[in-house]
Amino acid sequence: MTDTDIYVREGVDELAAHYRAAIQLLGEDPDREGLQKTPMRMAKAMQVLTRGYQQDAHQVLRDALFAEKYNQMVIVKDIDVFSLCEHHMLPFYGKAHVAYIPNGYITGLSKIARVVDIFSHRLQVQERLTQQIKDCIQETLKPLGVMVVIEAKHMCMQMRGVEKQNAITTTSDFSGAFNQAKTREEFMNLLRGESKRI
């Protein structure tokens, strides 16, 4: 069993059959040596890339919830994001930056990255992904505020359509204390490394 096999679930054989049919419809021979195992590989890969549907991001945060009187900004930045655009089923990839201001409770830092991972491993648009991450943290931790910024490149823009290789899409969403421009500015300055260093 490989590491990716742990994400294989019911329906993989049916999914592989559909991929076999798709390969044939594209004009290829699915019985050709190089393609014989491709439908199953594609089916397993797709189940890995959409594993977020079987995971509960709220529970991930609840499992590592700690009472703490810290009430300053907590930032986890440069979290790798890999997702599938639901419009063309092509990848988009980049970085997520997440900040929250605790209100009596904190969570394990790795759990913030896990929340990003869970929502990104679903069919997505970047705008909704940004909002889902923010909403999950706000609803579960009930902090004074949350802000999420995602910067990503979209293969549907790079490989097809306008074919622009260097276009970066930036999305943001925020709540609570981050409705204040000063708090958002502090977050953005910290992202850019403009804060006073010790």
Catalytic residue among 126, 136, 138, 186: 126
Catalytic residue among 24, 55, 151, 156: 156
Rounded CA separation 153/149 (Å): 14
Instruction: For residue 178, give both structure tokens.
Output: 């981050």
Catalytic residue among 86, 127, 139, 194: 86
Q: Does residue 88 carry a catalytic annotation?
A: yes
Catalytic residue among 36, 68, 87, 139: 87
Residue showing tokens 């000063």:
182
Secondary structure letter of residue 46 according to DSSP: H
Q: Does residue 58 carry a catalytic annotation?
A: no
Q: Does residue 97 carry a catalytic annotation?
A: no
DSSP H or E stretch at residue 75: strand 74-85
Catalytic residue among 55, 88, 151, 158: 88
Instruction: For residue 121, give both structure tokens.
Output: 């491993």
Catalytic residue among 85, 121, 132, 186: 85
Give phi and psi for 28, each to the nearest 5.
Answer: -105, 165
What is the chain's length? 198
Catalytic residue among 47, 97, 124, 154: 154
Residues designated as active site: 85-88, 126, 154, 156
